[in-house]
Amino acid sequence: MTKDLGPILEQISSLTAPIILGAAGIHLLFFLVLVIWYRRELKTIAGSLDDFTRGLKHRSVLGRAAPLTNQIDAFVEDVNDVLNDPTRTEDRAECLRRMHILDERRSYLDSLSFETARNVARVMIEAYPLAGVLGTILAIGSAMQSSKTAEAAATMSGIVTRFGDAVWSTFCGLAAAILLMFVNSLLETRFSRLTQSRSHVRDVVARAKRELAMTAVPGARVSSPEASAVSETEETTEAQQTQQAEVS
């Protein structure tokens, strides 16, 4: 059984470097898929907020060349301005009427799949140096197996060959890790902005539903100082009229 392991280890160790390079190429393609996914998600969020705020009177106007993250931030601020100003009754009514747009497209708020794929792409970068070390160990093991069965000259030639495989596997593992870490560093900020944009949209949607639904409830009490003053004046007037009626 020991004799059978020699050729197997030799073949595996010779394939370690090509396998690492192939995996790194697939990893780069996976990052490309994440970039396409990221842009599609941003377009979906920006499009939904654009439809939601289209009827507002005071609406941010950004060019199509503006980054999608800036457009999303501007739309979120537009909605917050409406929610913070109770006097903009028409805009609040328009937002309430268009609330179904955000409800029908809530799939854009599902970040679990993207976050999982992003985390896998980031964490698996650490596997490439380990794969290089594994290739080195396999090359050394293959050389040790061949030294037990071969002659001295053949053994030295095999050790030199396996040593070359060990060096190349280590080099490929480290080079792939460095390249992928560089690519990840370029994309990390953009992916984080997508997560932040989703969080901001979730917060503003929850707040809009809560506050706009309260204003839409018939007979709901308004807590503003002006409304309270008007209510107190009406109650005082009714009390005076009642007293005059009793006296007469």
DSSP class of 65: T
Identity of residue 21: L
**CB of 225 closer than 8 Å to CB of 86:** no
Give the per-residue pLDDT at 230: 37
Cα 64 from Cα 59, distance rounded (Å): 15
Please give the residue range of the domain that contains residue 173. 2-247
Identity of residue 216: A
Question: Which of 11-15, 163-167, 193-197, 244-248 has the lowest average pLDDT?
Answer: 244-248
Identity of residue 23: A
- Nearest alpha carbon to residue 156 among 147, 148, 164, 165: 147
Say whether pLDDT at 218 is over 80: no
In this structure, what token pair is assigned to residue 221?
């009490």
Q: pLDDT-derived band of residue 11, with 50, 70 and 90 as boundaries?
A: confident
Cα 217 from Cα 35, distance rounded (Å): 43
Cα 143 from Cα 156, distance rounded (Å): 9
Sign, CA torsion 7/13/17/19:
positive
Say whether pLDDT at 181 is over 90: yes
Q: Which residue has the higher pLDDT, 29 or 107?
A: 29
Average pLDDT for 139-163: 64
**CB of 97 closer than 8 Å to CB of 207:** no
Q: Which residue has the higher pLDDT, 247 or 23?
A: 23
In percent, how much of the chain has pLDDT > 90? 23
Element (H, E) at 112: helix 112-123
In this structure, what token pair is assigned to residue 15?
């394939």
Measured between its terminal Cα atoms, the distance across the chain in Å is 119
Element (H, E) at 11: helix 2-52
Give the per-residue pLDDT at 14: 79
The number of CA neighbours under 13 Å toward the Cβ of 44 is 17
Q: How far is CA 14 from the centre of its chain?
A: 39
What is the residue-averaged pLDDT of the chain?
75
Considering all CA atoms of the chain, what is the largest pairwise distance in Å, rounded to the nearest integer? 131
| 99-112 confidence digits (pLDDT tens) | 766 665 566 667 78
Give the per-residue pLDDT at 4: 60
Count up the domains in the chain and report the number. 1
Q: In the chain, count of helices (H) and strands (E)?
A: 8, 0
Question: Which of 14-23, 89-98, 150-159 has the lowest average pLDDT?
Answer: 150-159
| 111-131 confidence digits (pLDDT tens) | 788 889 999 999 999 999 999
Q: Which residue has the higher pLDDT, 133 or 98?
A: 133
**CB of 78 closer than 8 Å to CB of 60:** yes
